[in-house]
Structure 1
Amino acid sequence: MNTPPPLPPLAEKEQLLHPWSWLFVLLAQLRQFLFPLVALVIFGQRSAGREDSYQMVTMVIVAAVLVASALLRYFTYRYAIGADRVSVRSGLLARNRREIPFARIHNVAVQQNLLHRLFGVAEIRLESAGSKHPEAEMRVLRLDQALALEQLVRQHGRSPSPPQADPADSGGNDGPASATAGSQLLLALRALDLVRLGLVSNRGMVVVAAAIGAVFQLVPREVVGDLIKAHARQAMGMANGAALSTTSAILLAVLSLVLVLLMTRLLSVALAFVQYHRFVLSRADGRLTVERGLFSRSRSSVGQRRIQAWSLHQGLLQRWLRVQQLKVDIAAGNAEDNNSRNLRELAPIASQQQCTQLIQTLAPELAWPPSQWQPVAPRQAWRLCLPALLLWQPLLITALWQLAGSWALLCLCWLPVTVWRAWRSVGFMGYHVDAHAVMVRGGWWQRWWRMAQTAKVQGLRLRRSPLDRLCGTASLLLDTAGSSMGGPRLQLALLPVAQAQQLLEQLSARISRPRVASSADAAAPVTQVPADLQPT
């Protein structure tokens, strides 16, 4: 993606999207019906005569309706660039008009896949705070037009927001995109980093599991059952013919399992290259921008002031390789969006030193890492064993009793591991609270750290379950504007009641203080619309 040209005078005349826009809308609609159509064509009940003709006619009618819908969307979709807003008009019978002020747009996401590159176009989405869907989605514009609109919206977004508005809900503090000549490079992933990312992730296993689930959903059960039985008979025949001993059979099964795990890891590495090829994190004028992708290039950015919380994740393999993953929560968006509309991964994989430097550079108020962690009482470890002791182990023993009888009691051998894991988890748990930030950590196999500035906390909650009341403990939950994004919660758990109430009062007093406007919120000069965005 190239840097847009300079910005000439504004024009507010409505204009159409790219002439090939209808084609990309049609392809997006067809993706929703891809699997049902494939299943209907390949595995549907085929019969000669009139019923077969009806089926073909139905498919042709559906295709014609989709094409007509795409063309209708192209001819009824208009957009205009004003002095301080973007206007979008769409619809024929039910007409909609959206006025999107530049100051409310928190992100301009530009995406290009292989087909976009072939046609020299790009898809652009305008996203605002607190919305689960894009305010405007333009499929598609010429690449230079998309980049120019991206620059225009972001430069207008530097204008100040009203004094009473919360920074998490306004776009007034955001600067221009970091994909400019003056941007600061913060992180760039190399090929070796992508290999490590694939090795420590489970993306390949997830894809394989999803493929197996899709096969069971699309292919008739009789076909799948016959296929499994045929391969099982073939494997048993080969094993009997080779006259393998018990030791050899076990060794062969272990080698097969290792081979499957190796193949899934190689698939994970390939997926990491596809998703994070040429990953670049940069900063310019208070905005963070991430650009990545091999076949489909995407660029997304967010203002630093919109970051509500920071999370570090480190699994067992990541600890061995001494790497971590850095994520952020943004005060907008939908966690269930599989297209990753919002920038969340600042560092999919980076060394511990790099992650520490990123946090120190981007959020110096956090003073990361803290000088001391407040631990949790080790005697609370037994509470982490309760789910295994009272729930899943009894259920597992009951389920296996029907198959293995008294051998199912061997599951009790896992109890020492459960107790040891709970003890190690409590030993790692801790929190740190100071005048500017709140930090918690937890986990053992999968370790995590979560932190947020006190000024970003939107609400506090003191929670006591029946077990807490019995043990004299409580949990203090802190909510931020991006707390619905998933992942570990910002929660101080297993605290004595008096200590939890004291922290509640202290934090309540801190977050109740009025925010002071920053001197950096100066009005930006009026920018102009690029020539490529003006109607001809």
Structure 2
Amino acid sequence: MTTTPDPGHEVSTAGGAEAADHRLHPMSWLFVLLQQLRQFVLPLVAAFFFGGDRNELWPLIGVGVLALVSVWRYYTYRYGFSGDALVVRSGVLERSVRVIPFARIHNVALQQSVLHRLFGVAEVRLESAGGQKPEAEMRVLKLADALALEALVRRRPAPDPAVAAPAAEARVLLALPPREILRLGLISNRGLIVVGAAIGGLSQFNPRLVPDLMERWGEWALGWASHNGTQDPAFLAVAGLSLALLVVALLRLFSIVLALLQHYGFTLTETGRRLTVERGLLARWRTSASRRRIQAWTLRETLLHRLLQRRSLDIDTAVAEQHNQQRTLRELVPVATPAACDALIEHLLPRAAWLQLDWRALPRRAWWRLVLPGLPVALVLTAAAAWFVGPWALLALLWLPWAAYVARRHMRAAAYAVNADVIAVREGWWSRHWRFAELDKLQALQLTRNPLDRRCGTATLWLDTAGASALAPPLRIRFLPEAEAAALYAQLARTLARRPLRW
């Protein structure tokens, strides 16, 4: 007897007349075991080489149990195809069958660590919109089987697995040479991630190691200055500035190394209506998503971007595990020229007329509202500093003219644009961004007015899309005149009412 479960749900069955005809790779148990062992590595190394409580070796018993579970999983896990769905079976004593329609799969992620590449295998994750877990996770498949599964999902409705269908031609939209990766390392500030990981790893062996090193370095620096009679404030200021520049240079060096590890060989390809990104130097990531799953776009340009004449383009997709940057297609263009970014937007959103958008400036007289939230905090901190330090602390109030200047520049650049297919918002001066989305992808509209808005006759229009990242700037239009905000809200509401909601 065959049990047919509801799509995307697990069911228990005593048996099945139709068995899945694909297994995991014979060495899959090893990779599952290594994945589970990560939390035990540092305590075990510390116990063996640095001494400590021998009770920390008790997890070795759990390691043996994990090894047996990993082998058991290999012998009981099967997957196959039934029409336009993927069927996953697992378990012996309690059988479970999971039927996943290809239409439900929004993202296919392939990951290869160095060990995966040595064995010619890959970890595959099939993700859907809104879920907290992937629809299916296969650790691990032969690389050829993983690519075949990705192609099968891409060509849905799925063809007969027994018939070899010709693969669609892939078109390269963007390929980053090593010099662009170096620019990405200079622009990004990910060196702090390396430093934080190093401090966390060292703290596992000795919690006092990093504080002791900093303390000894400070004692050495002050002792050297006293011994050589270099108490001149100017000399100490130059020495401190040189040290700060050295730290910045090291952080940029770490950032370049991390960029090379994560983005070397970055290639963005288009197959039909599906976008695929492949990148990585030692470990390799391959993620793909349908163009229609893209919910919102963010074009960024920081000060370093402008100095190097570059921009970056990120997207939000309605898939699970939005917090996992490595496995989710988010960085569509890590770094490229403004012309390349504009050309890619024009290609992927041909109806949006990106280069022909009619930008409408926001009221510049609202600049003071950007300064107002930080003004009380600045005054309180300055007063407290003056109490302990003296009148010299009042120099901190020089921040106010600078803040006012920055706010005025922000409002000069702030604008929005809307047409029949897309709505876009432009903000920022020192660091700029363009946030935009297709009207079909808007999930909700909200018009808000706080007491200050009511006093000034303005309103804020919030636009919500699925899969929005917590790190992405909000899609909103601030300081709109009340009548203009109400008219825009009504226009968008009518547009959404006439169109079916698409994810």
Structure 2 length normalisation: TM-score?
0.88
- Render the CA deviation track for 1:118-155: whole Å, top value 9, x for unaligned: 11211111122232321111111112221222222221
Cα separation, partners in 2 of 1:313 and 1:36, compared to 1, 3 Å = farther
AA partner of residue 508 (structure 1) = A
**Structure 2, gaps ≥5 residues long:** 1-17, 160-164
Q: Please list, as runs of the form range in 1=range in 2, the aligned pairs for 1:470-481 lying within 5 A after superposition.
A: 470-481=455-466
- In the alignment, the residues of structure 1 paired with residue 218 and residue 477 of structure 2 have an alpha-carbon distance, to the nearest angstrom, of 51
- Deviates most, 150-159 or 495-504: 150-159
Q: CA deviation at 1:514?
A: 3.4
- In the alignment, the residues of structure 2 paired with residue 214 and residue 422 of structure 1 have an alpha-carbon distance, to the nearest angstrom, of 41
Q: Please list, as runs of the form range in 1=range in 2, the aligned pairs for 1:422-441 lying within 5 A after superposition.
A: 422-441=407-426
AA partner of residue 223 (structure 2) = G
Overall identity of the aligned pairs, in %: 47
Pairs aligned (count): 479
1:463 corresponds to which of 425, 429, 448: 448
Cα separation, partners in 2 of 1:421 and 1:37, compared to 1, 3 Å = farther
Residue 453 in structure 1 maps to residue 445 in structure 2: no
- In the alignment, the residues of structure 2 paired with residue 346 and residue 224 of structure 1 have an alpha-carbon distance, to the nearest angstrom, of 37
Q: CA deviation at 1:193?
A: 0.6
Residue 349 in structure 1 maps to residue 335 in structure 2: yes
Tell me the equivalent position of 1:335.
322
- In the alignment, the residues of structure 2 paired with residue 115 and residue 399 of structure 1 have an alpha-carbon distance, to the nearest angstrom, of 56
Answer whether contact 1:329 1:485 (CA < 8 A) is retained: no
SS at 2:289 equivalent: strand
- Render the CA deviation track for 1:380-424: whole Å, top value 9, x for unaligned: 111111222123x24543664575344433321211111111111
2:20 corresponds to which of 7, 10, 13: 13
- In the alignment, the residues of structure 2 paired with residue 186 and residue 203 of structure 1 have an alpha-carbon distance, to the nearest angstrom, of 26
- In the alignment, the residues of structure 2 paired with residue 127 and residue 388 of structure 1 have an alpha-carbon distance, to the nearest angstrom, of 42
AA partner of residue 74 (structure 1) = Y
Answer whether contact 2:20 2:88 (CA < 8 A) is retained: no
- Render the CA deviation track for 1:306-347: whole Å, top value 9, x for unaligned: 112221000001012111001111122332224x32211111
Cα separation, partners in 2 of 1:345 and 1:191, compared to 1, 3 Å = same
Residue 312 in structure 1 maps to residue 299 in structure 2: yes
Answer whether contact 1:43 1:220 (CA < 8 A) is retained: no
- Deviates most, 146-155 or 429-438: 146-155
- Render the CA deviation track for 1:254-289: whole Å, top value 9, x for unaligned: 111111111111111111111111111111211111
Answer whether contact 2:107 2:319 (CA < 8 A) is retained: no
Cα separation, partners in 2 of 1:93 and 1:375, compared to 1, 3 Å = farther
Tell me the equivalent position of 1:239.
225
- In the alignment, the residues of structure 2 paired with residue 263 and residue 38 of structure 1 have an alpha-carbon distance, to the nearest angstrom, of 28
Tell me the equivalent position of 2:5.
none
Tell me the equivalent position of 2:15.
none
Tell me the equivalent position of 1:524.
none
AA partner of residue 26 (structure 1) = L
- In the alignment, the residues of structure 2 paired with residue 15 and residue 185 of structure 1 have an alpha-carbon distance, to the nearest angstrom, of 31
Higher relative contact order (CA 8 A, sep 6+): 1
SS at 1:512 equivalent: helix
Answer whether contact 2:199 2:210 (CA < 8 A) is retained: no
SS at 2:24 equivalent: coil
Q: CA deviation at 1:240?
A: 2.0
Q: Please list, as runs of the form range in 1=range in 2, the aligned pairs for 1:136-285 lying within 5 A after superposition.
A: 136-157=136-157, 182-212=169-199, 215=202, 219-221=206-208, 223-244=209-230, 245-285=232-272
Answer whether contact 2:360 2:415 (CA < 8 A) is retained: yes
SS at 1:489 equivalent: coil
The two structures, once aligned, show a CA RMSD in angstroms of 2.6
- Render the CA deviation track for 1:151-194: whole Å, top value 9, x for unaligned: 222212479xxxxxxxxxxxxxxxxx9x9672211111011111
Q: CA deviation at 1:455?
A: 1.8
Residue 109 in structure 1 maps to residue 101 in structure 2: no
Tell me the equivalent position of 2:273.
286
Cα separation, partners in 2 of 1:208 and 1:94, compared to 1, 3 Å = farther
SS at 2:174 equivalent: strand
**Structure 1, gaps ≥5 residues long:** 1-10, 47-51, 160-176, 518-536
Answer whether contact 2:84 2:157 (CA < 8 A) is retained: no
Answer whether contact 1:292 1:298 (CA < 8 A) is retained: yes
- In the alignment, the residues of structure 1 paired with residue 175 and residue 442 of structure 2 have an alpha-carbon distance, to the nearest angstrom, of 31
Residue 73 in structure 1 maps to residue 73 in structure 2: yes
Residue 503 in structure 1 maps to residue 498 in structure 2: no
Answer whether contact 2:84 2:158 (CA < 8 A) is retained: no
